[in-house]
């Protein structure tokens, strides 16, 4: 089956005026995933089986708390806790304080970094490396990136649309560049990289001007001058640097 393309969603994100179309889409995917997991799906055994095994990262745990639904959260937590207790009991029964690797392995530390620490410590860290919500979001996000590449290849005007947008946050820019390098041929890369680089330089300097001016505005000499685009420069600069929407209100269950 052909993978679904997110052309409409990507188009809407690019014209949304957001500082990053991928942040814009990620917010939507994240909220839908939280709604799904705390909707009725938590009573379905296959979903719960997955949440038991994958757990939730700290960021999404906080989102689930804020969203509400104590009973739903309690059911999810109850069996995730059971799962963790069972697994941890096994890990503790075979506890090793020494790193798994040999002395030779430790000399080769750079490659073996993940094997550092005690056996239980390593198991805990591996449990922290996956999250049910992150997993759901990432799956679609990857397809959105694929859609971007598809559009570069097949839509003549697509890059113009990209040029007119506000660029990307630095976090998502990394994924985009890597995907372009992997998925586009040399000719396509020669076309797309200069466009992306020029745009990022331009948009980052725009943000720099906004945040610089916000500071200047606090000088009493400038108190009667116009704010220009600086009023919300803090949250937009935060987003540009690390991604996300720091000024968003808490996402709550509206029902």
172 binding Zn ion? (CB under 5 A): yes
In the complex, the smallest distance separating the C-beta of residue 145 from Zn ion, rounded to whole angstroms, is: 12
From the list 109-117, 216-224, 226-234, 240-248, the region that binds Zn ion by CB under 5 A is 240-248
Select the residue interacting with Zn ion from 63, 162, 169, 176 (CB under 5 A): 169
In the complex, the smallest distance separating the C-beta of residue 242 from Zn ion, rounded to whole angstroms, is: 9
List binders of Zn ion among 100-139 (CB under 5 A): 131, 133-134
**Do you know the residue count of the chain?**
255
Nearer to Zn ion, 139 or 190 (CB): 139
List binders of Zn ion among 20-49 (CB under 5 A): 20, 22-23
Nearer to Zn ion, 136 or 150 (CB): 136
10 binding Zn ion? (CB under 5 A): no
Read off the tokens for 129: 């490396």
> At which residue do the structure tokens 């917010």 appear?
27
Residue 22 to residues 46, 77, 105, 173: CA-CA distances in angstroms? 29, 30, 40, 9
Beta carbons within 8 Å of 122's beta carbon, 6+ residues apart: 100, 114, 115, 116
- DSSP assignment, residue 128? T
In the complex, the smallest distance separating the C-beta of residue 130 from Zn ion, rounded to whole angstroms, is: 8
Select the residue interacting with Zn ion from 25, 52, 60, 203 (CB under 5 A): 60
Spell out the SS3 assignment of 224-249.
CCCCCCCCCHHHHHHHHHHCCCCCCC
> At which residue do the structure tokens 């997993």 appear?
135
Summarize as ranges the residues that interact with Zn ion (CB under 5 A): 20, 22-23, 57, 60, 131, 133-134, 169, 172, 243
């Amino acid at each position: 089956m052909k993978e679904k393309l997110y052309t409409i969603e990507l188009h809407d994100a690019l014209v949304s005026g957001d500082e990053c179309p991928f942040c814009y889409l990620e917010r939507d995917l994240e909220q839908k995933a939280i709604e799904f997991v705390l909707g009725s799906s938590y009573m379905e055994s296959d979903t719960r089986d997955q949440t038991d095994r994958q757990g939730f990262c700290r960021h999404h745990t906080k989102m689930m708390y804020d969203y509400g639904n104590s009973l739903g959260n309690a059911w999810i937590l109850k069996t995730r806790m059971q799962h963790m207790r069972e697994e941890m009991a096994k890990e503790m029964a075979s506890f090793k304080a020494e790193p798994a690797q040999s002395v030779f392995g430790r000399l080769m530390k750079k490659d073996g970094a993940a094997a550092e620490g005690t056996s239980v410590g390593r198991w805990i860290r591996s449990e922290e490396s996956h999250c049910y919500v992150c997993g759901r979001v990432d799956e679609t996000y990857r397809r959105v990136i694929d859609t971007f590449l598809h559009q570069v290849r097949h839509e003549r005007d697509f890059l113009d649309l990209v040029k007119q947008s506000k660029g990307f946050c630095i976090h998502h820019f990394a994924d985009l560049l890597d995907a372009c390098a992997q998925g586009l041929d040399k000719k396509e890369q020669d076309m797309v990289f200069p466009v992306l680089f020029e745009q990022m330089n331009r948009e980052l300097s725009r943000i720099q001007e906004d945040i610089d001016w916000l500071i200047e505005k606090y000088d009493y000499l400038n108190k009667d001058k116009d704010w220009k685009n600086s009023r919300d420069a803090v949250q937009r600069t935060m987003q540009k640097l690390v991604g996300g929407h720091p000024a968003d209100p808490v996402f709550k269950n509206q029902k």
